[in-house]
Structure 1
Amino acid sequence: MDVSSTIFQPIFEGVKQYVVPLFQRSYSWNKKEWLTLWEDLKELYDSENPRQHFMGSIVTIPAKSVPEGVAKFLLIDGQQRITTVYLILMAIGDLYCERGEQEKYEEIKNIYLVNPYKHGNDYYKLLPTQIDRSAFKRIISSPQEKIEHGMWEAYMFFKRKLSLNIDLDRIKTIITTKLSIVSIVLDATDNPYLVFESLNHKGKPLSVADLIRNYVFMNIHVDHQEDIYNDIWKPMQDRLGDTIPEFVRHYLTMNGDYINTGDVYNVLKERIDKVGVEECLKELEKYSKFYSIFLNPEKEKNEKIRKELLILKRLDISTSYPLLLNLYNLYSEGNISADEFEAMLCVIENYIIRRFVCGVPSNQLNKVFPQVYIQMKKIEKGSYLDKLKTVLQAKNYPKDYDFRENLKTAKLYGNGDRIKKTKIILDRIEQSYEHKEMSDLDELTIEHVMPQTLTDEWKIHLGDDCEQTYELYLNTLGNLTLTAYNSELSNGSFRRKCEIYKDSHLDMNKYFQNIEKWTAYEIKKRAGVLASKILKIYPYFGETISGRDIENVTGTKPYSLIVLGQEFNVNSWTDVLFYTLQVVSDLAPDKLELIENDYPSLLGRRADLFRRPKELANGYFYEAGLSAVHIYNFCKQLVNIMELSQDEWDVAVVNS
């Protein structure tokens, strides 16, 4: 490594070229940086005895060049400064030309800007990165032709400044002899990438995408970089854009490893060092085509696969992409048919929807999905579809009895992605009717039959326990439907809503034709009907396991409650509610405030808010005067909030 202090004149003189590597960022200086540089230059210009002005450092490394005779240097750091000074010299030269001082124009051009006896790219003393190259060449050949690029804007900024009674000879001398820099020239044996790591560590921000691109092209000979960039990297970059880092992470986890976002570039370095950069790039480019289809399913040619990929995109489960990359590769190589691949995508949808309805935490899916394909390969017999089902069944896949109960009791409509997932469930229900003239479901929205704002008319309609009914059933499946008339329906009465549902083209809304009132009983009944349909839409794909399913708690007496392996002897549904709340209070006290906000008529810190208050150990009170049905539904929703399965919360009953 050679470190020296120098000025700009020797940097540009001679038959040489500074190549901004393809992995570098594009030109990014703007008016703020231009103005700062101009003010520094103007201060030197106005001084009788201008001092040396330190501009910073540049880091270069000699590169093997073809043809011989042009000394090439990779410009590892300092490209923004070098490029801007180059543009100023271009502006000075063009002003010389416009003023008829042709000799001075030729001098500045041939000494500082170009290698006059070389051709092609070797003609230019500075060769920007591929992204900037065409704009850069146009500025040199046709500087008056406006183009939308930061380099042209910089060129024009300085040309305007230089036109304001500036002595061009003096400003040229100041630029070439009074701007000092520290030149760091690495040896051919030095690892330039370590410089990037050092620069990033010292606070010059390099994104993960920068780091990936840097390391890839640092390992490719400069003479091959452009071909590989054009043939492999650019097509991949055009497909994926800013998603390249996440794609690389998903690609690296295809073999079952879990990789944090911050570790992507280190793991990729290890992969490149192991298999070689070109082989790794070719594989990345191959899988980027699949990944692009996941991001833009409309690119998929097979209609059935395209529709299912659109559903998976709406589900927003990018955590499944490592598995999907493996499965799409099987499909693209002809190892599975289009029908089998579509069926596998449906299995993944089934898995996600059941877990969502049953409140299974999704924060572990980024560790679940990368392992699936590896475990599939360990199963010797069966189709790929059967192997996928076998593996997913063992990964917290809800059983029928759990799924059915949560379909009837869980709050499906809510914040975050809950609305998107619930909309998919409702869409699937409508599609299951196989209507010959299917409506455009994308144009429909979710409608609450019992409205989100409880009007006085609705309070009378619901009866004495209207607040409890509202809190327990508002966002459950039985109270949700699809409509194109959400604004017209709004908080209207049930009778008014039924009149609009009657004119609906949706089969699911025909249910309301003979319904005269809408209370907790009717909501639960419709939930049961819809749950039966959903169980057929998303059938259990493993070995059937029987479990207890309480169809109607009215007229039953509980005698045993199990919560997370702890058994409580209970004599009433009020006991079930007390012990369930007590466990929630002990294990997740932070969730009590959330529960209080969502169920203010059932849980709170003031006893006077309840008809029959009962106190928990932590000072909270709850409404103990609830019916068995309300208690059961409240407990099931608490279980969902706690993200427990029915195996972890179970109540045994007898008919009283």
Structure 2
Amino acid sequence: MRADTVDLRRIFGRDVRYTVPLFQRPYVWNRDENWSALWEDIRRTVERAEQAAVTGETVAPHFLGAVVFDETPYLSSSLETRQVIDGQQRLTTLQLFLFAARLSAAALNHERSVRLLSKFLENDEDLFDRAQHPDHLYKVWPTNADRDEFRAVMLGQGEGGRLAEAVAYFQQEIDTWLAEAAEPQERLGMLVQALREQLRLVIIDLEEHDDAQVVFETLNSRGTPLEHADLIKNLLFRDAERAGADVDRLYKTYWAPFDQDEWRVEQTTGRITRSRLDVFLTHWLTMRTQREFTASALFKEFERWLLSSAVPTEDVFTELTRYAEIYDLIDDHPLHGVEGRFLYRMKVLQTSTPMPLLLLLYGLDESVLPLERRRRAIRAIDSYLVRRAVLNLSTRDYNNVFRDLVAAVARQPDRADEAVIKALSAMQGHHRHWPSNSEFRASLEQDPIYSRLVRRSVRILLEALEDELRTDHTEQLTVPVGEQAGTKLTIEHVMPQSWRDNWPPLENDLSEGADRDELVHTLGNLTLVTARLNPTLGNMAWEDKRQWLGKHSLLRLTHGTLLSAPPNTDISDWATTWDEHRIRTRGTYLASLSLDIWPHADDLRTDPLSSEHDNT
């Protein structure tokens, strides 16, 4: 490769087309992180030139960074053509700035500046057929995702969008800065001169035997905002290009949706923030390879898989598109039913490790894996996660657990439910085992879960119990979930944590209520109320609290197990008081319901997934 330092006259002053391959990422620069810094660099350079014009000093050039070009033949015009291997964000932004400066020059009727800037923006029309190739007018031609907007902006028709926003920002800054000068036109002339002579880039031109893909990866492997998805995109399309495929068709058919904002939004998994697309690709590749790798190794792991699998490039595109649709369906799944409530609980528990397994399960056609079997597999996963959450067990080995489950399902896809149940049942050790019925029941009945668990774990437990208590004859009110749960429903201690204010110990209690401090945090003493009702109830005595709950609560969890006795309870005067015996009795009943909601292996194998569980 050849490297040289040049000013903008060498880059934009001649008739040339810098084309950004379709497999590079869309334009992502923004005002706070990029545009304002570029404008400050240019402004300071011009102001130093203004001062040097008075003092006679020499102005040092300002370096804007590096770009990498690869020469490519273009037979449809006489224009020299370069493919942008690296630096497309910088080149595109410079063109947007030059266009904005030309708008400012036109507003001041400074024709000389308009002409000079136009030479940096547009090619000589005698060198190409304008009717056949109108876009050859532009020096820089961005990647496919940005071309329509770029064309509209350069024609003065751009409204909305990141490129139009950049032009508006630069024009406003330039106009304000020019207006501060005693002679705006003279300052404009200094700006144009600085743009031509004082701003420089390091240009790296690849030679015949240089591997553009290797250069691209090396320049963007560390310390840059380039995402792994962009490296993967570049790799796939270069492979397709070398194979002689129609890369434009591949992009429009398969990849274009991935360049939309919905896939570029940032998500946090664990302690790492990445784009939604990178997160999806990690889950998909984990499903595909059943290998462990870190988030930072995504691209290299993908490259290794691509080389070893020998899957045709278009088949890779097809598979990614199909599983992206499945990923969207999982993300947007309605919150009702076996699957919806599980997916909701998975989000609340903030665990994404089951996703490779879910992609595999949902990717199996119903002719292979019937819906009933998929639901049974999901109920097993749900039981595993919730039981371990209630027992406050570690999640540290979940990556290995769910890779093992992926492998088990892959071996027996038509009986995935049995494969999942068998694999989970075989898990051994504190970090992996599936808590038994006796362990789960003991924790629910005896443990102070409110003080021991994070609030979200307690909340999903109470929400699920409310759902389980509803029947076909119950008014179909939707229990608020997700973000709403934090604002509408909160966890309420029936016997308050500060029980000594209004709740004297039982007369025959020799410990004088010493056990209550833990008992009040057990499941039998907890319910859900609105955020407005919760502080009203406070530490009030049972008689008052019972009246408030009876008047304002609509939940079966409250009316069916708290204000009235749970089924098969032999306490005839249940609602007259609230004490240790009632807390334990209610806790036992709710624990039994929990075992029905989250059954263990034997119960799952014999449960035909009756319709009542579809409401869970």
Q: What TM-score do the two structures reach when normalised by structure 1?
A: 0.73
**2:40 paired residue among 35, 47, 50:** 35
Does the C-alpha gap of structure 1 residues 175 and 360 become closer, same or farther in structure 2, counting only changes over 3 Å? closer
In structure 2, the partner of 1:354 is: 387
CA offset digits 1:386-408 (Å, max 9, x no partner): 22221222121222222221121
In structure 1, the partner of 2:298 is: 264
Give 1:209-608 correspondences, 5 Å limit: 209-221=229-241, 226-238=248-260, 239-241=262-264, 242-254=275-287, 255-274=289-308, 275-298=311-334, 305-331=339-365, 334-378=367-411, 383-395=415-427, 396-414=433-451, 418-435=454-471, 436=473, 437-442=475-480, 443-458=488-503, 460=505, 465=511, 468-484=514-530, 485-503=533-551, 504-509=553-558, 510-512=560-562, 513=564, 514-542=574-602
In structure 2, the partner of 1:176 is: 196
Deviation at 1:3, TM superposition (A): 1.3
8 Å Cα contact 2:13/2:119 also seen in 1: no
The whole-number CA distance in structure 2 between the counterparts of 1:329 and 1:365 is 21
1:253 is paired with a residue whose SS is: helix
Higher mean alpha-carbon deviation, 163-172 vs 217-226, is at 217-226
The whole-number CA distance in structure 1 between the counterparts of 2:193 and 2:399 is 60
8 Å Cα contact 1:200/1:206 also seen in 2: yes
Deviation at 1:125, TM superposition (A): 0.6
8 Å Cα contact 1:240/1:292 also seen in 2: no
CA offset digits 1:247-290 (Å, max 9, x no partner): 11111111422222121121112233343544323211211111
8 Å Cα contact 1:309/1:345 also seen in 2: no
Give 1:16-27 correspondences, 5 Å limit: 16-22=16-22, 23-24=24-25, 25-27=27-29
The whole-number CA distance in structure 1 between the counterparts of 2:466 and 2:158 is 61
The whole-number CA distance in structure 2 between the counterparts of 1:493 and 1:247 is 52
The whole-number CA distance in structure 1 between the counterparts of 2:143 and 2:344 is 37
8 Å Cα contact 1:429/1:533 also seen in 2: yes
Specify the code of the residue in structure 1 equivalent to 2:294. N
2:540 is paired with a residue whose SS is: coil
In structure 2, the partner of 1:636 is: none
The whole-number CA distance in structure 2 between the counterparts of 1:220 and 1:173 is 43
In structure 2, the partner of 1:47 is: 52
CA offset digits 1:215-254 (Å, max 9, x no partner): 4455453995554443322323545333111111111111
Deviation at 1:149, TM superposition (A): 1.4
8 Å Cα contact 1:139/1:152 also seen in 2: no
The whole-number CA distance in structure 2 between the counterparts of 1:530 and 1:102 is 82
In structure 2, the partner of 1:154 is: 170
In structure 1, the partner of 2:268 is: none
The whole-number CA distance in structure 2 between the counterparts of 1:82 and 1:44 is 23
Deviation at 1:322, TM superposition (A): 0.6
Work out the number of aligned pairs and report it. Answer: 540
Specify the code of the residue in structure 2 equivalent to 1:445. T
The whole-number CA distance in structure 1 between the counterparts of 2:148 and 2:44 is 30
Does the C-alpha gap of structure 1 residues 320 and 537 become closer, same or farther in structure 2, counting only changes over 3 Å? same
The whole-number CA distance in structure 1 between the counterparts of 2:5 and 2:286 is 46
1:352 is paired with a residue whose SS is: helix
The whole-number CA distance in structure 2 between the counterparts of 1:146 and 1:262 is 34
The whole-number CA distance in structure 2 between the counterparts of 1:415 and 1:206 is 41
2:201 is paired with a residue whose SS is: strand
The whole-number CA distance in structure 2 between the counterparts of 1:534 and 1:105 is 75
The whole-number CA distance in structure 2 between the counterparts of 1:240 and 1:172 is 39
The whole-number CA distance in structure 2 between the counterparts of 1:379 and 1:335 is 10
| Coordinate RMSD, CA, aligned | 3.5
Specify the code of the residue in structure 2 equivalent to 1:240. W
The whole-number CA distance in structure 2 between the counterparts of 1:248 and 1:146 is 30
In structure 2, the partner of 1:74 is: 83
The whole-number CA distance in structure 2 between the counterparts of 1:224 and 1:451 is 69
The whole-number CA distance in structure 2 between the counterparts of 1:84 and 1:253 is 37
CA offset digits 1:136-191 (Å, max 9, x no partner): 33332117978751233124423554564243555434422343332111124323
Deviation at 1:531, TM superposition (A): 1.6
Specify the code of the residue in structure 2 equivalent to 1:231. T
2:421 is paired with a residue whose SS is: helix
Does the C-alpha gap of structure 1 residues 328 and 447 become closer, same or farther in structure 2, counting only changes over 3 Å? same
The whole-number CA distance in structure 2 between the counterparts of 1:128 and 1:114 is 16
User: Of the two structures, which has the highest relative contact order with CA contacts closer than 8 Å and spacing of 6 or more?
Assistant: 2
Q: Does 1:138 align with 2:138?
A: no
Specify the code of the residue in structure 2 equivalent to 1:190. D
Does the C-alpha gap of structure 1 residues 228 and 45 become closer, same or farther in structure 2, counting only changes over 3 Å? farther
The whole-number CA distance in structure 2 between the counterparts of 1:455 and 1:507 is 28
The whole-number CA distance in structure 1 between the counterparts of 2:447 and 2:368 is 40
The whole-number CA distance in structure 1 between the counterparts of 2:306 and 2:124 is 36
Specify the code of the residue in structure 1 equivalent to 2:4. S
8 Å Cα contact 1:412/1:476 also seen in 2: yes
2:5 is paired with a residue whose SS is: strand
Specify the code of the residue in structure 2 equivalent to 1:511. T
Higher mean alpha-carbon deviation, 418-427 vs 454-463, is at 454-463
Deviation at 1:109, TM superposition (A): 2.1
CA offset digits 1:364-395 (Å, max 9, x no partner): 11211122131234459x83322222122212
**1:125 paired residue among 132, 139, 146:** 139
The whole-number CA distance in structure 2 between the counterparts of 1:194 and 1:21 is 15
CA offset digits 1:269-327 (Å, max 9, x no partner): 223334354432321121111111222213x9x96644553444444331111110010
**What 5-or-longer segments of structure 2 have no aligned partner?**
265-274, 428-432, 481-487, 565-573, 606-616
* Percent identity over paired residues: 24
Deviation at 1:200, TM superposition (A): 4.3
Does the C-alpha gap of structure 1 residues 129 and 453 become closer, same or farther in structure 2, counting only changes over 3 Å? farther
8 Å Cα contact 2:425/2:601 also seen in 1: yes
8 Å Cα contact 1:354/1:398 also seen in 2: yes
Instruction: Say which one has the larger Rg.
Output: 1
8 Å Cα contact 2:505/2:513 also seen in 1: no
CA offset digits 1:428-479 (Å, max 9, x no partner): 3233334321433215432211223344223546966467424322322111
8 Å Cα contact 1:232/1:282 also seen in 2: yes
